[in-house]
A and B are shown apart, each in its own frame.
Chain A
Amino acid sequence: MQPTDIANPDYFHKVVDCQWACPAHTPVPEYIRMISAGRYGDAYMVNWKSNVFPGILGRTCDRPCEPACRRGRIEKEPVAICRLKRVAADYKEDITSRLPKAPAVKNGKRIACLGGGPASLAVARDLAPLGYDITVFDQDPLAGGMMRTQIPKFRLPETVIDEEVGYILNLGIHFKGGHKIESMRAVLDQGFDAVFVGTGAPRGRDLDIPGREEARAHVHIGIEWLSSVSFGHIDKIGRRVVVLGGGNTAMDCCRSSRRLGGESVTVVVRSGFEEMKASAWEKDDAMHEGIPILNWLVPKEFLHEGGKLTGVVFEKVKAEIDAKGRRNLVPSGEPDHLIECDDVLVAVGQENSFPWIERGIGIDFDKWGMPAVDARTHQCSRPGVFFGGDAAFGPKNIIWAVAHAHEAAVSIDKYCNGQDIADRPPPMTHLMSQKMGIHEWSYDNDIRNDLRHKVPHKDPALALKDIRMEVELGFDGKLGLAEAQRCLNCDVQTVFDEDLCIECDACVDICPVDCITFTGNGEEADLRGRLMAPAANLTQDIYVSKPLKTGRILAKDEDVCLHCGFCAERCPTGAWDMQKFLLNVTHAGDAAGEPACRSAA
């Protein structure tokens, strides 16, 4: 193998599995260490810079970081990264003085953000400190998008949304609520310097089966129903409720129903329990509230009597692999299944829809009605118009909306300054030794087996009584500290200096997880099989040195390295050092409110 190029920002970034997996590349171990040190405000600001909505995401994030977490590879469960974010948000001191201010003197450029969800708000936050004059339009009275209208209050209290949306709107942003955009042409005619489209994926899919029309008064589209609940237009539902679908929306529908009079609420999915789109913890929370999840049932017909829904008939199916290796659902041959109910919530998917964007104004759409958007720059076919969040590539989640927004803001800043938006500066990285003494490090390297701590929940009997009562209580300071201590500090990198190594084997002998091998070089596949422990996880890199004095190379499997620093403690020559890797994703502006993404003049 070729010697590893550790100057490539991606190499050590990948070792920080959680940060690499986070769409916004939040420096997770950095903020977790701050929580351990009781520096909640600092931890909050690290998050705020990267992901804009720490308090919201600390309760609702889809947490792609957690399945990636290294602790999950050496122990049963990953670090509770997401809920630690909430710890920072819950216990921080007043941080308002640390937030950027909108400059008194604007830069003369006007930006329109269409839709007031996380994508638009994050674009506004990135650009406002640079002096842009930003207007956010939303059809709803308040900003926040689906964070406010869809996610039920028992998961995300209104106060948290108000606080974090407020931090952004206070940057001198004009928010035009209750303002539905009916024509893109009209927006463009207003002469904005750039337009960001963050209107989400607002349409819920319907289910066209017999009885749908007749039973219409008792069959509701999930996301429409949830926003009506959120606005207080709906405050009760029938005693027996069937929720169709297996994603986030279905989980929020069923749990909301339990709080609005649904005593017998059942979730029904077409395929298997494992394949459901909802996250494992959402399913757990639903089942914990007495909601059964039935699977392998395809809805066939709504039964009704005199305009009143009486039940749903399902066909029983099973999965079969066809000749081409595709999986199909086929009838199992068992008799149909009837569930009697008073209301049905249809939560079978969400779609984009842009009836308000005229064709022929330079914005191209594909055959599925999706705009043609560049995945890196987020610009569509019409220069100066950018898409992000659910509006860009279909429904995802809040953290993806934020990640899109950072990229779009970079593009907008470059565009408004006449620069090539495709020419994007790489992230800034720093490596800093953590050595403080012979065996003293500036991070806690005492790695212990320690199972994940559970977040305390409100007693379900109480929680089910009030739809606005938050179910999760969050970690208290003590539990938060205990959970923070589970982090392995994967950003504190093992950095090897081949010129110093005397090949004494001390690091090989001490490494608790057999990561380190000195051996003859070879092709990757061969080398992976010849290490102290086989390196079977191909998603994890092998760190390879230049040839050493004996002609051998060092090969370190990054996979299950505990970042315990024992190799560096044992090295007599300092050939290993533990160095903290900090990666700053390029945003439109820096912490001082100066432009950070423009190419040198």
Chain B
Amino acid sequence: MSYLAKPKFHHPALEANSLGFTHRDYEGSISTLCAGCGHDSISAAIIHACYELAIPPHRVAKLSGIGCSSKTPTYFLGQSHGFNTVHGRMPSVLTGANLANRELIYLGVSGDGDSASIGFGQFAHAIRRGVNMVYIVENNGVYGLTKGQFSATADKGSKSKKGVVNSDSPIDMVAIAIQLGATYVARSFSGDKAQLVPLIKAAFEHQGAAFIDCISPCVAFNNHEGSTKSFDHVRAHNAALNELDFMTARAPITADYEPGRSEIIKLHDGTSIRLRKLDARHDVTDRGAALAAIHEHQGKGEIVTGLLYVEEDPQDMHMGLGTIDKPLNQLGEADLCPGSAVLERINAALR
């Protein structure tokens, strides 16, 4: 951590996006996490993704629970809305917020403890309801904030800093998310921004429940030999299925690709991604294939990363519920109190 505020100076040649903001304008206050924490890199990736998408900061709501990971929303998008819930309750509060105001862009940030232990139920229901959000789990395999106990995502057989071996089976967040009906599921690594930033951008464009499990080494408690969430281990066992090029309608990517090795996936409002397939067999639109790939690589001791599954026409919670298009805070008295005639009609329908 650092005590001093980050200097306001930025590189004189820094480019501004269409809103006139540089990436520095998407920062928050200075991080108090341990120096080198993977979570800070994910914050930086979020900053770059929002800057590149020219997202108006005041249209974003950041929600998180408890944990080092859940502290990070303070460190990015300083001009956005924020809500720090009690431990594990972020998905429920996010769901409620989204019901009340569907016009904001929802970003849920959580940890493996926050989402796979205490908040496992909340996580499951927000995903299965198809809440339109970006849900990022900053996964370090430990409870960082409480000094490094194994979390539910710690691999069986992995060693703690003190040498204790974990005997419990891990929860694989991406497998669960796919099974629960998430319509955009990816895994990445805090140490690979080239992969992570486009994945976050595509998740923002995806109009449904987008889930990213991001391995994020805890330098203080889980970056030693014997850990399967360390920088060295993840680098040595990373099996990326694909690489993403993010394309907006205005500036499509023109590079040539080997036929059969690339695929275009539509996202929203004319944006799309071009997948460069590193594993030609993998079909990202096939839920079963995604689960199979996850299990196959896991069996080999590999960590599968990249875009695992995506549905091009996602359903979101509001469609299912038939809710009104407008945020509740924009409804006038006439909408909120339609009068006794309407009440009559409703009652009549129920008789």
Chain A residues with CB under 8 Å of chain B are 73-75, 439, 445-449, 502-506, 508-510, 512-515, 533-534, 536, 549-550, 560, 562, 564, 566, 569-573
Other-chain residue from B8, B11, B217, B235 in contact with A514 (beta carbon distance below 8 A): B11
> What CA separation (Å) do A536 and B35 show in the bound complex?
30
Nearest CB of A to B51, in Å: 12
Other-chain residue from B2, B9, B34, B35 in contact with A562 (beta carbon distance below 8 A): B9
CB-CB contacts below 8 Å: B25-48 with A: 31, 34-38, 40-41, 43-44
**Is the Cβ of A572 less than 8 Å from the Cβ of B35?**
yes
**Is the Cβ of B36 less than 8 Å from the Cβ of A506?**
yes
Chain B residues with CB under 8 Å of chain A are 1-4, 6-14, 24, 31, 34-38, 40-41, 43-44, 190-191, 193, 217, 219, 223, 231-232, 235
> What CA separation (Å) do A522 and B74 show in the bound complex?
37
**Is the Cβ of B191 less than 8 Å from the Cβ of A505?**
yes
| Binding site secondary structure of chain A | loop
**Is the Cβ of A504 less than 8 Å from the Cβ of B4?**
no
Residues of B within 8 A of A508 (CB): 44
> What CA separation (Å) do A446 and B7 show in the bound complex?
7
**Is the Cβ of B40 less than 8 Å from the Cβ of A509?**
yes
Nearest CB of B to A219, in Å: 49
**Is the Cβ of A510 less than 8 Å from the Cβ of B36?**
no
**Is the Cβ of B14 less than 8 Å from the Cβ of A570?**
no
Contacts A447-B7, A514-B14, A562-B7 aside, 5 further interface pairs with beta carbons under 8 A come to A439-B1, A502-B36, A503-B191, A504-B217, A512-B24
Residues of B within 8 A of A562 (CB): 7, 9
Known contacts A502-B231, A504-B38, A504-B217; A560/B11 CB under 8 A = yes
Nearest CB of A to B238, in Å: 11
| Binding site secondary structure of chain B | loop
- Specify the chain A residue showing the minimal Cβ separation from B192: A505
Other-chain residue from A73, A514, A550, A569 in contact with B35 (beta carbon distance below 8 A): A569
Provide 14 A-B residue pairs closer than 8 Å at the C-beta atoms, listed in order of the A residue: A446-B4, A448-B8, A502-B231, A504-B38, A504-B41, A505-B44, A508-B44, A510-B31, A510-B40, A512-B7, A512-B24, A549-B235, A566-B2, A570-B2
Residues of B within 8 A of A74 (CB): 9, 12
Q: Most chain-B Cβ atoms within 10 A of its Cβ — which of A509, A514, A536, A569?
A: A509
**Is the Cβ of A534 less than 8 Å from the Cβ of B12?**
no
Residues of B within 8 A of A449 (CB): 7-9
Nearest CB of A to B255, in Å: 16
> What CA separation (Å) do A271 and B270 show in the bound complex?
58
**Is the Cβ of A439 less than 8 Å from the Cβ of B2?**
yes
Residues of B within 8 A of A515 (CB): 11
**Is the Cβ of B10 less than 8 Å from the Cβ of A505?**
no
> What CA separation (Å) do A90 and B1 show in the bound complex?
41
Known contacts A446-B4, A447-B9, A449-B9; A506/B35 CB under 8 A = yes
**Is the Cβ of B12 less than 8 Å from the Cβ of A571?**
no
**Is the Cβ of A566 less than 8 Å from the Cβ of B6?**
yes
> What CA separation (Å) do A577 and B235 show in the bound complex?
25
Other-chain residue from A513, A550, A566, A571 in contact with B36 (beta carbon distance below 8 A): A571
- Specify the chain B residue showing the minimal Cβ separation from A536: B13
**Is the Cβ of A506 less than 8 Å from the Cβ of B41?**
yes
Residues of B within 8 A of A569 (CB): 2, 35
**Is the Cβ of B34 less than 8 Å from the Cβ of A572?**
yes
**Is the Cβ of A573 less than 8 Å from the Cβ of B36?**
yes
> What CA separation (Å) do A572 and B218 show in the bound complex?
11
Residues of A within 8 A of B3 (CB): 439
> What CA separation (Å) do A351 and B1 show in the bound complex?
61
**Is the Cβ of A504 less than 8 Å from the Cβ of B219?**
yes
Residues of B within 8 A of A564 (CB): 4, 7
> What CA separation (Å) do A536 and B12 show in the bound complex?
11
Residues of B within 8 A of A570 (CB): 2, 35-36, 40
**Is the Cβ of B4 less than 8 Å from the Cβ of A506?**
no
Known contacts A439-B3, A509-B43, A550-B235; A504/B9 CB under 8 A = no
> What CA separation (Å) do A436 and B101 show in the bound complex?
50
Residues of A within 8 A of B1 (CB): 439
